[in-house]
């Protein structure tokens, strides 16, 4: 296990440690690819710095595993990824802002064209160059974010004179309710996507995110774009998560102290000790991605950490730089100053913490460890 190049200081100077297992990410990708039965290509969404795990490191590992197509959000992410993956196909999901076609062409980046104006600009560029330039076209099937309306999509792609030499490299849409497979919206989107793309079925098509991969062959088409599942996250809300954890956040104990019964803990005096307590204060907070909403109050429990197999509930509000844990029932020899405490990882799932914070595991993963030592290797 070795420290990543960006670590500037000795390990003891960090308040916490973020360990990332890129081999586990590659294994998760292979698990998803196997579900396709060789009928579809398995791409990878590595936007937001590969969901907080390191875009360059993850990109290299996935390419070595066999992944050849990658999706990021913005062109700056795409250009950075191109520096380490010169042969990969790279799509930028957020499309084509005015005046940005030059960098797309210079770095061989494919925009996902998500509006009629973007499509018209790209067609004009293709006509001026006299050739088709690779880009995807996004049709909105009901999520009402990016994407041409079905009417715009059908009218434009069906007009050979308007399209000129441009032939899309991919037709795509995005599921709104994939995390709930029984939701009627999924079938409506699937049916609409089939309908509007049927005249262009000779082109490659893509609908499935992580949830779509797990929902079965109907959603796979020619290419799937898993994201959260690659990083061990929960793609489908009520099913067991088949993916392997890939990240572990550990924070160091700064102090262990006694709290008398009836005293309050943390900002706002939100949590009152119902008995004499011992608490441990660890060097992590919302500035490190430990979301404030996962704190506890007298009315509701908060999240938890794990210390050598023992559960340590969060007490009171999560501060910017520290969290207080209830260690009353944990053996004292496990609570030495400087000891690492698992805040998220194999024993503290991001989805579980997210439930306490009234959010989703995506938010945890993409926010993690800006001040932690970053280490690449196994989570053991």
pLDDT in tens, 125-174: 999 999 999 999 999 999 999 999 999 999 999 999 999 999 999 999 99
Say how far apart CA 90 and CA 82 lie, in whole Å.
8
Q: What is the pLDDT of residue 6?
A: 59
The predicted-structure confidence for 322-345, as pLDDT tens digits, reads as follows 999 999 999 999 999 999 999 999
Q: What is the pLDDT of residue 369?
A: 76
Nearest to 302 by CA among 276, 331, 324: 324
Residues serving a catalytic function are 47, 267
In sequence order, what are the residues at sequence separation of 6 or more whose Cβ sits closer than 8 angstroms to the Cβ of residue 288?
A: 15, 16, 249, 251, 321, 368, 369, 370, 371, 372
Query: Per-domain residue ranges for the chain?
Result: 22-231, 247-376
Give 3-state DSSP helix, strand, coil % of the chain, rounded to 5. 35, 20, 45
* Cβ atoms within 10 Å of 84's Cβ, excluding its own: 13
Q: Could you please state the CATH topology (level 3) that the domain comprising 247-376 is classified under.
A: Lyase, Ornithine Decarboxylase; Chain A, domain 1 (2.40.37)
Q: What is the pLDDT of residue 2?
A: 40
Q: Is the alpha carbon torsion for 248, 252, 257, 260 positive or negative?
A: negative
The residue ranges of the chain whose pLDDT is under 70 are 1-6
Query: What's the CATH number for 22-231?
Result: 3.20.20.10
User: In the structure encoding, which two tokens stand for residue 184, read together?
Assistant: 């009627």
Say how far apart CA 84 and CA 72 lie, in whole Å.
14
Q: What is the pLDDT of residue 138?
A: 98
CA angle 41, 363, 256 (to 5 degrees): 130
């Amino acid at each position: 296990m070795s420290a990543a190049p960006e670590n500037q200081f000795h390990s003891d100077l960090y308040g916490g440690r973020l360990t990332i297992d890129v081999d586990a990410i590659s294994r998760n990708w292979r698990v998803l690819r196997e579900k396709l039965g060789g009928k579809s290509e398995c791409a990878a969404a590595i936007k937001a710095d590969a969901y907080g795990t390191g875009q360059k490191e993850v990109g290299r590992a996935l390419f070595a595993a066999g992944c050849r197509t990658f999706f990021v959000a913005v062109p700056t992410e795409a250009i950075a990824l191109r520096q380490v993956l010169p042969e990969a196909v790279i799509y930028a999901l957020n499309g084509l802002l005015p005046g940005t076609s030059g960098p797309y062409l210079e770095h061989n980046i494919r925009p996902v064209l998500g509006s009629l104006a973007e499509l018209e600009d790209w067609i004009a560029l293709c006509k001026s160059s006299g050739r088709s330039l690779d880009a995807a076209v996004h049709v909105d099937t009901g999520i009402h974010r990016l994407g041409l309306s079905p009417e715009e999509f059908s009218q434009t792609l069906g007009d050979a004179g308007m399209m000129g030499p441009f032939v899309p490299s991919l037709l795509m849409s995005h599921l709104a309710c994939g995390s709930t497979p029984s939701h009627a919206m999924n079938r409506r989107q699937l049916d609409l996507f089939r309908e509007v793309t049927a005249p262009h079925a000779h082109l490659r098509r893509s609908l499935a995110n992580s949830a779509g991969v797990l929902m079965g062959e109907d959603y796979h088409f020619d290419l799937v774009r898993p994201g959260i599942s690659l990083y061990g996250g929960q793609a489908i809300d009520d099913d067991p998560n088949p993916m392997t954890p890939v990240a572990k956040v550990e924070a160091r104990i700064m102090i262990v102290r006694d709290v008398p019964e009836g005293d309050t803990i943390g900002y706002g005096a939100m949590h009152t000790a119902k008995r004499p307590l011992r608490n441990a204060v660890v060097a992590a907070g919302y500035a490190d991605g430990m979301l404030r909403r996962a704190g506890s109050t007298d009315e509701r429990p908060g999240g938890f950490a794990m210390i050598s197999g023992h559960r340590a509930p969060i007490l009171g509000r999560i501060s910017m730089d520290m969290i207080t844990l209830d260690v009353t029932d944990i053996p004292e020899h496990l609570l030495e100053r400087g000891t690492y405490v698992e805040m998220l990882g194999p024993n503290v799932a991001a989805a579980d913490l997210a439930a306490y914070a009234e959010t989703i595991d995506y938010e945890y993963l993409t926010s993690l460890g800006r001040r932690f030592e970053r280490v690449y290797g196994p989570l053991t």
